[in-house]
């Protein structure tokens, strides 16, 4: 029975950690806006460890891929719309 409690505690700790990160991520734009309006804007920290640098690079590359894919989709849709109008 004790093993079940320790497993439950582990998974609850993991869930709390994920919840904490998710809430911070969702509220970060709001916090930045409030700090900017109050004149307490905190500069974005620069990554120091290789793992942090890798995470920042991965996030930036993901954002660029999404932007590129979105732009390509819009161009294809515009092309198809123009092609249908010409017919």
Sorted by sequence, the CB contacts under 8 Å of residue 63 that are 6+ apart come out as none
Query: For 59-80, how does the pLDDT look when each residue is reduced to its tens digit (9 = 90+)?
Result: 999 999 999 999 999 999 998 8
Q: What is the dihedral of CA 50, 52, 55, 61, to 10 degrees?
A: -80
What span, in angstroms and rounded, lies between the C-alpha atoms of 50 and 37? 33
pTM of this structure: 0.41
The answer to whether residue 47 scores a pLDDT higher than 70 is: no
Average pLDDT of the residues in 35-40: 86
**DSSP secondary structure of 39-75:** T-PPPPPPP-SHHHHHHHHHHHHHHHHHHHHHHHHHH
């Amino acid at each position: 029975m004790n093993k079940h409690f320790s497993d439950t505690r582990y998974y609850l700790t993991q869930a709390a950690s994920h919840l904490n990160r998710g809430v911070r991520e969702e509220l970060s734009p709001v916090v930045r806006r409030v700090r900017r309006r109050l004149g307490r804007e905190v500069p974005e920290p620069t990554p120091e460890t290789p793992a942090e640098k890798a995470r920042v690079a991965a996030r930036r590359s993901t954002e660029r891929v999404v932007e590129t894919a979105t732009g390509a989709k819009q161009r294809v849709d515009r092309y198809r719309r123009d092609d249908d109008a010409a017919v």
